[in-house]
Amino acid sequence: MAFRLMAEPGLAEYSEAVSGVPDDVPGRLLLTPSEPPMHRMSRLVLLPAAVLGAVVLTAAPALAAPSGQDVTWMQSIHQGNLAEIAAGNAAQRSATTTDVKQLGAEFVQQHTQLDSALTQAAQQLGVQLPGSPTPAQQQGLAAVQRNTGQAYDSAWIAEELGGHETAVAITQQELQSGSDATVRGLAGTALPVIEHHVAQLRTAAQKYGVPTSVPAGSGGQAADDELGTLGWALTGVGALALVAGTVGLARRRATTA
């Protein structure tokens, strides 16, 4: 319930100073004496309201809970951190170029740092974080791992570009519409780090140049093969005629001999 209250815009500012909850916070209204007097109500009728008010007051520390946006960002960026740490470790084992190995090491170190601050805040704020990267992130890394040699490094860079650009977008979103000051602070710290990683990845990708061709077909199903089919048909009929003619000639020679 505190969750839904916090989803109201503008409440974030109050979340840290519970003792000084301002008068316009919903829920506080129930106990405010300046409410319109309820002349006709008996004390018994007022009792549930008082109880409810007390519940709201005791639940007040929960007002510090972050908004839905804050929680979504914390969970998503945590999964991103986990994915990038896993990818960084994988690069140190499997990459062929020192560039990518170094990038991997740097990612592991910096995303571990970002993530330890994040998990600490999540604990304080009572936000549950997922234990592993998303299925899509896991599939992406698994697909990268199926490559060898230079193809591994190129695939790793592409996968990491995708992951980091997603992280930039969701972190900008948190900075724009997040509520909790602590969470926004974390996003503010993370953004330049992730943006720097994107820049490093783009520089690394540049060494491979831009594509000059796209090897985008190997089956021939899209190609019109009517001539080929006609060719096989003609060859078949021709072969039959050839065999029949030759057999006829040979038989004739045998009978005349």
Residue from 43, 93, 224, 257 binding another protein (CB under 8 A)? 224
Note whether 17 binds another protein by CB under 8 A: no
Query: Nearest-CA neighbor of 97 among 154, 42, 145?
Result: 154
Structure tokens at 76: 């998503």
Residue from 18, 25, 105, 168 binding another protein (CB under 8 A)? 168
Query: Nearest-CA neighbor of 65 among 133, 115, 123, 6?
Result: 6
CB of 124 to another protein, least distance (A): 28
Element (DSSP H or E) covering residue 17: none
**Closer residue to another protein, CB minimum distance, 44 or 222:** 222
CB of 170 to another protein, least distance (A): 7
Q: How many angstroms separate the CA atoms of 166 and 79, rounded?
A: 12
Q: Is the dihedral of CA 88, 91, 93, 98 positive or negative?
A: negative
How many residues line the site for another protein (CB under 8 A)?
A: 68
Residues in the chain, how many?
257
Max Cα-Cα span within the chain: 136
Residue from 18, 209, 254, 257 binding another protein (CB under 8 A)? 209
Query: Nearest-CA neighbor of 63 among 14, 123, 23, 126?
Result: 14
101 in Cβ contact with 209 (< 8 Å):
no
46 in Cβ contact with 98 (< 8 Å):
no
**Subset of residues 108 to 167 that bind another protein, contact rule: CB under 8 A:** 140, 143, 150-151, 154-155, 157-159, 161-162, 165-166
**Closer residue to another protein, CB minimum distance, 54 or 249:** 249
Residue from 10, 19, 222, 254 binding another protein (CB under 8 A)? 222
Contact residues: another protein, CB under 8 A:
140, 143, 150-151, 154-155, 157-159, 161-162, 165-166, 168-170, 172-173, 176, 195-196, 198-199, 201-203, 205-206, 208-225, 227-228, 230-246, 248-249, 252
